[in-house]
Amino acid sequence: MYNVKNLVKKGKNYQLTIENNDQETTFNVSEDLIVEYRLLQGKVIEDNQFKTIKAAINKDSYYQKVLKFSLFKPRTRKEIFAYLDKLQVEEYAYYLTKLEKTKLLDDDSYTKNFVHEAIFFKRFGPRKIREDLRLKGIKIELINESLTIYNEVQIQENINFWLEKKVKSLQNKPFYKAQKSLFDFCMGKGFDYEDISPLIGNFRSEENSKTIELNLLSKEASHLSAKYRKKEQKLSLNQFLITKLLAKGYRYDLIKKYLEGGQMSDE
């Protein structure tokens, strides 16, 4: 025979002490378990009933871990399955059903919330959102349905946000190199080339950047010409400069303009 000797509230759970032949065993259990088995102080438990309760306590202890994992941040079914695998528990359905009843596990709500946050707060592009959700085990049909709120106007607004953020660091970069950096940056945020391309000109005008680039090119050319004269080169100075400056992202028409201005010669 077993006897519930003590029951003490500990945080959100209870510390349950069960006595048997002057031996005490303490368990950390949830309120749900206390209610289900009516484990009040003084309750007498038969031997066969104790085996059932002990198995329920063991299962409940795992559920508390799964519950804590789920409460830390929203989770998908795939993430819960992976966590249950890690715990090496049996009867996955028991834990999944309990989480679903409390709405802690709901891939539909998870996806809608994820998409809303990704669009309006993190400002990610559709491609990145889609890839992130697929990695979390969300079905593509559910992803596509949730992404219908991402309209063209919002896509442009988010791309402009990232372009404005990035362009400040590219003021002293050659035009083509700056263009590539802007494209790569926005594509890394999950946007497609076709959506980025029409907007870049608003932040990096080809004409407006020519004067800046020509000044940068002049400094770079002077530096390169000094290196040229220190080593034997198979190319002429102009050929050497054209090759090196193109590789650094300078425009060919500006390189030619600089060289034709007589500031360098093929010595």
Q: Is residue 102 in some structural domain?
A: no
Please tell me whether residues 174 and 114 are part of one structural domain: no
Please tell me whether residues 193 and 231 are part of one structural domain: no
Please tell me whether residues 130 and 145 are part of one structural domain: yes
Please tell me whether residues 215 and 240 are part of one structural domain: yes
| 7 Cβ contact list (under 8 Å, min separation 6) | 14, 15, 16, 17, 34, 39, 40, 41
Which residue among 73, 96, 122 closes a domain?
73
Please tell me whether residues 189 and 232 are part of one structural domain: no
- Which of 70, 114, 130 lies closest to 95, judged by CA? 70
Please tell me whether residues 67 and 33 are part of one structural domain: yes
The CATH number that applies at residue 124 is 1.10.10
Q: What is the pLDDT of residues 51-104, one digit of tens each?
A: 999 999 999 999 999 999 999 999 999 999 999 999 998 888 999 999 999 999
Please tell me whether residues 118 and 164 are part of one structural domain: no
Q: What is the pLDDT of residues 209-255, one digit of tens each?
A: 666 777 777 777 888 888 777 777 777 888 888 888 888 777 787 78
Q: Is residue 84 in some structural domain?
A: no
Q: What is the pLDDT of residues 246-266, one digit of tens each?
A: 887 777 877 888 787 754 444
What is the C-alpha to C-alpha distance for residues 114 and 132, in angstroms, rounded to an integer?
Answer: 10
Q: Is residue 235 in some structural domain?
A: yes
What is the C-alpha to C-alpha distance for residues 209 and 168, in angstroms, rounded to an integer?
Answer: 13
Which pLDDT score is estimated for 74?
93
| 176 Cβ contact list (under 8 Å, min separation 6) | 249, 250, 251
| pLDDT higher than 90, residue 161 | yes
Please tell me whether residues 39 and 6 are part of one structural domain: yes
Q: Is residue 248 in some structural domain?
A: yes
Which pLDDT score is estimated for 176?
78
Total domains, the chain: 4
Which pLDDT score is estimated for 149?
96
Which residue among 51, 73, 95 closes a domain?
73
Q: In the predicted model, what is the mean pLDDT of the chain?
A: 87
What is the C-alpha to C-alpha distance for residues 189 and 123, in angstroms, rounded to an integer?
Answer: 8
Is residue 102 a contact partner of residue 167, using CB atoms and an 8 Å limit?
A: no
Q: Is residue 86 in some structural domain?
A: no
Please tell me whether residues 159 and 144 are part of one structural domain: no
What is the C-alpha to C-alpha distance for residues 255 and 243, in angstroms, rounded to an integer?
Answer: 10
- With tokens 């990695």, the residue in question is 135
Please report, for residues 54, 71, 76, 89, the alpha-carbon distance to residue 92 in angstroms, rounded to integers and kept in the order given. Answer: 19, 18, 14, 7
Q: Is residue 250 in some structural domain?
A: yes
Extended strands (E) in the chain = 2-10, 13-20, 23-29, 44-45
The CATH number that applies at residue 19 is 1.10.10.10
Which residue among 163, 179, 200 closes a domain?
200
| 162 Cβ contact list (under 8 Å, min separation 6) | 123, 185, 186, 189, 191
**What domain range includes position 26?**
2-73
> Can you give the pTM of this predicted structure?
0.73
